[in-house]
């Protein structure tokens, strides 16, 4: 079968590889669409601590079942969403019911082969039938949507709140969409990309160019000088790590979603004087993933505008170059084979 391979830092290759074999309680899935995520970019740069070449990356994908043993719920031909999280089931965290932050958490497409290929083997328990109403393209965004749902559900966001989101990448925009659904009265979002800010405006957010305007001032002006009720930090740099503390109201809540490439300095004194809370968030629970399928299936969230490119797997390297080029007007890039 055809696969896009990570062969080492900045080394990608499209190659014919043997078909994956399936073990007991696994299914063979034909990939429909697979999206590039920031984590794939980290692997591509050679900076991911676990991913080892040669690897078929891709943990955001949809597909259909081509081979499966006896199962009560799924059969050959079913269109499916894939939850890429693999927990050990044995550690204390798993046994206390928090499998999504398993001490030994693994991901399809990071620790084992993933979706940048024609076919992939997936544990049956990680497969969910797709609603008729959900397209294969949109279904490739269920994983990041589940991240956004998990993030907002973990926050203290309440109806009528003003929310600031730092970073209008796919995760920041999806958090904005879910925050609106959860009752946010106003979503203010910053980025440095005009293309991404334009998209943010289409979703009804107040978009702020961080190179031209001060998001802290905008947050204050929009809240009678008080500051945002909840700030989601989704850009991951020192500038936004400073802004998250200055844009929040006293006793407000900061939710850190970003994975920082370099640990930022956090001014705890500023937080303590105003009793600011900080929350962190990692991936999503099975429940969040199911909610993502339900919300998308019910037409409650429209992610299609986030898909900027659909490329053949033959253009594997081009996809990564587009993601790397900050002027390329890319958002979510999907591969099909
Ligand atoms: N917690 C989790 O489980 C989880 C899951 C997925 C992604 N993440 C993290 O969330 C973050 C966002 O993910 P993404 O896929 O949307 O990444 P992304 O890189 O596409 O988005 C980040 C955005 O921040 C913008 N930005 C850069 N500097 C800025 C500034 N000074 N002010 C405002 N915006 C600025 C960038 O232009 C970009 O659009 C990443 O750090 C990623 O690693 C966390
Ligand atoms: Zn991802
Ligand atoms: Zn575990």
pLDDT, one tens digit per residue, over 42-63 is: 999 999 999 999 999 999 999 9
Whose Cα sits closest to atom 38 in ligand 1?
A: 169
Q: Output the CATH code of domain 148-280.
A: 3.40.50.720
Task: Return the domain boundaries, the chain.
Answer: 2-141+303-336, 148-280
Domains 2-141+303-336 and 148-280 share a fold: no
> CB of 235 closer than 6 A to ligand 1?
yes
pLDDT, one tens digit per residue, over 231-266 is: 999 999 999 999 999 999 999 999 999 999 899 999
Whose Cα sits closest to atom 2 in ligand 1?
A: 282
Per-residue pLDDT for 91 more than 90? yes
What pLDDT sits at residue 327?
A: 87
Classify domain 2-141+303-336 at the CATH superfamily level: Medium-chain alcohol dehydrogenases, catalytic domain (3.90.180.10)
What pLDDT sits at residue 71?
A: 82
What pLDDT sits at residue 81?
A: 98
Per-residue pLDDT for 326 more than 90? no
What pLDDT sits at residue 82?
A: 98
The pTM for the full model equals 0.98
For a mutational test of ligand 1's pocket, the pick from 105, 173, 235, 261, i.e. the residue with the most ligand atoms closer than 8 A to its C-beta, is 235
> CB of 9 closer than 6 A to ligand 1?
no
Q: What radius of gyration do the chain's Cα atoms show?
A: 20
> CB of 141 closer than 6 A to ligand 1?
no
> CB of 306 closer than 6 A to ligand 1?
no
Residue 191: pLDDT band with limits 50, 70, 90: very high
The strand pair at 228-233 and 248-256 is best described as parallel
């Amino acid at each position: 079968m055809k696969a896009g391979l990570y062969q080492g830092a900045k080394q990608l290759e499209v190659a014919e590889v043997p078909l994956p074999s399936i073990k007991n309680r696994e299914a063979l899935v034909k990939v429909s669409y697979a999206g590039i995520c920031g984590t794939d970019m980290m692997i591509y740069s050679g900076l991911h601590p676990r991913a080892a070449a040669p690897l078929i990356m891709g943990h955001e994908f949809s597909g259909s079942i081509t081979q499966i043993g006896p199962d009560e719920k799924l059969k050959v031909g079913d269109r499916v969403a894939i939850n890429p999280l693999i927990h050990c089931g044995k550690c204390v965290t798993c046994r206390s019911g928090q499998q999504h932050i398993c001490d030994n958490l693994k991901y399809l497409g990071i620790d084992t082969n993933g979706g940048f290929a024609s076919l992939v083997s997936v544990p049956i328990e990680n497969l969910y039938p797709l609603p008729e109403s959900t397209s294969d393209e949109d279904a490739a965004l269920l994983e990041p949507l589940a991240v956004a749902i998990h993030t907002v559900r973990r926050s203290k966001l309440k109806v009528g709140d003003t929310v600031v989101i730092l970073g209008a990448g796919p995760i920041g925009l999806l958090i904005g969409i879910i925050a609106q659904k959860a009752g946010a009265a106003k979503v203010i979002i910053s980025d440095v990309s005009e293309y991404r800010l334009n998209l943010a405006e289409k979703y009804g957010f107040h978009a702020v160019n961080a190179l031209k305007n001060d998001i802290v001032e905008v947050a204050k002006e929009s809240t009678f000088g008080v500051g945002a009720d909840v700030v989601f930090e989704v850009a991951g740099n020192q500038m936004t790590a400073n802004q998250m503390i200055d844009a929040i109201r006293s006793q407000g809540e900061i939710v850190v979603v970003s994975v920082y490439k370099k640990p930022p300095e956090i001014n705890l004194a500023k937080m303590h004087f105003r009793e600011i809370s900080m929350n962190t968030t990692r991936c999503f629970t099975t429940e969040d993933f199911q909610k993502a399928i339900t919300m998308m299936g019910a037409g409650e969230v429209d992610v299609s505008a986030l898909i900027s490119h659909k490329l053949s797997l033959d253009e594997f390297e081009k996809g990564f170059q587009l993601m790397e080029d900050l002027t390329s007007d890319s958002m979510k890039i999907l591969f099909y084979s």
